[in-house]
Amino acid sequence: MAKLLRAGGRSSTTHLFSIITSKSRTFSSCSTINHETDLKAPPPSPSVLDRKSLPLRHDHHPVQWVFLGCPGVGKGTYASRLSNLLGVPHIATGDLVREELSSSGPLASQLAEIVNQGKLVSDEIIINLLSKRLEAGEAKGESGFILDGFPRTIRQAEILDGVTDIDLVVNLKLREEALLAKCLGRRICSECGGNYNVACIDIKGENGSPGLYMAPLLPPPHCASKLITRSDDTEEVVKERLRIYCEMTQPLEEFYRSRGKLLEFDLPGGIPESWPKLLRALNLEDHDDKQSAAA
Annotated catalytic residue within 133, 152, 187, 261: 152
Which amino acid is present at 4? L
Which residue did the predictor score with more confidence, 151 or 12? Answer: 151
Whether 75 is catalytic: yes
Annotated catalytic residue within 75, 133, 182, 257: 75
In this predicted model, what pLDDT tens digit does every residue of 235-280 receive, in sequence order? 999 999 888 888 887 789 999 999 999 999 999 999 999 999 999 9
In this predicted model, what pLDDT tens digit does every residue of 187-204 receive, in sequence order? 999 999 898 999 999 998
Please tell me the predicted confidence (pLDDT) of residue 67: 96
Whether 51 is catalytic: no
Annotated catalytic residue within 81, 133, 186, 261: 186
Whether 133 is catalytic: no
Helix 154-161 × helix 123-139 angle, to 10°? 40
Distances (CA, A) of 56 to 41, 229, 279: 32, 40, 10
Domain, as residue range, for 272: 13-21+63-174+247-283
Annotated catalytic residue within 57, 155, 230, 239: 230
Q: What is the pTM of this model?
A: 0.71
In this predicted model, what pLDDT tens digit does every residue of 150-187 receive, in sequence order? 998 888 999 888 777 899 999 999 988 999 999 999 99
Any idea what the CATH number is for the domain that residue 158 is in?
3.40.50.300
Taking residues 231-236, what's their average pLDDT? 87
- Residue 222, judged by CB atoms within 10 A of its CB (0-12, 13-18, 19+), counts as exposed
Contact 239, 180 (CB under 8 A): yes
Asked if residue 145 belongs to a domain, the reply is yes
**Rounded to whole angstroms, how far apart are CA atoms 218 and 17?**
38
Contact 146, 79 (CB under 8 A): yes
Annotated catalytic residue within 81, 241, 257, 261: 241
Please tell me the predicted confidence (pLDDT) of residue 280: 96
When mean pLDDT is compared across 2-6, 118-122, 277-281, the lowest value belongs to: 2-6
Asked if residue 137 belongs to a domain, the reply is yes
Asked if residue 188 belongs to a domain, the reply is no
Total of domains in the chain: 1
User: Does position 29 have pLDDT exceeding 50, yes or no?
Assistant: no
Asked if residue 236 belongs to a domain, the reply is no
In this predicted model, what pLDDT tens digit does every residue of 59-91 receive, in sequence order? 445 789 999 998 889 998 999 999 999 999 999
Angle in degrees, CA 238, 186, 125, rounded to 5: 55
Asked if residue 217 belongs to a domain, the reply is no
Asked if residue 194 belongs to a domain, the reply is no
User: Smallest Cα–Cα separation from 40: which of 185, 175, 158?
Assistant: 175
**Rounded to whole angstroms, how far apart are CA atoms 97 and 102?**
9
Which amino acid is present at 160? L
φ and ψ at residue 138, rounded to 5 degrees: -65, -35
Asked if residue 232 belongs to a domain, the reply is no
Whether 119 is catalytic: no
Count of CB atoms situated within 10 Å of the CB of 155: 17
Please tell me the predicted confidence (pLDDT) of residue 127: 83
Please tell me the predicted confidence (pLDDT) of residue 290: 57
Whether 186 is catalytic: yes
Asked if residue 102 belongs to a domain, the reply is yes
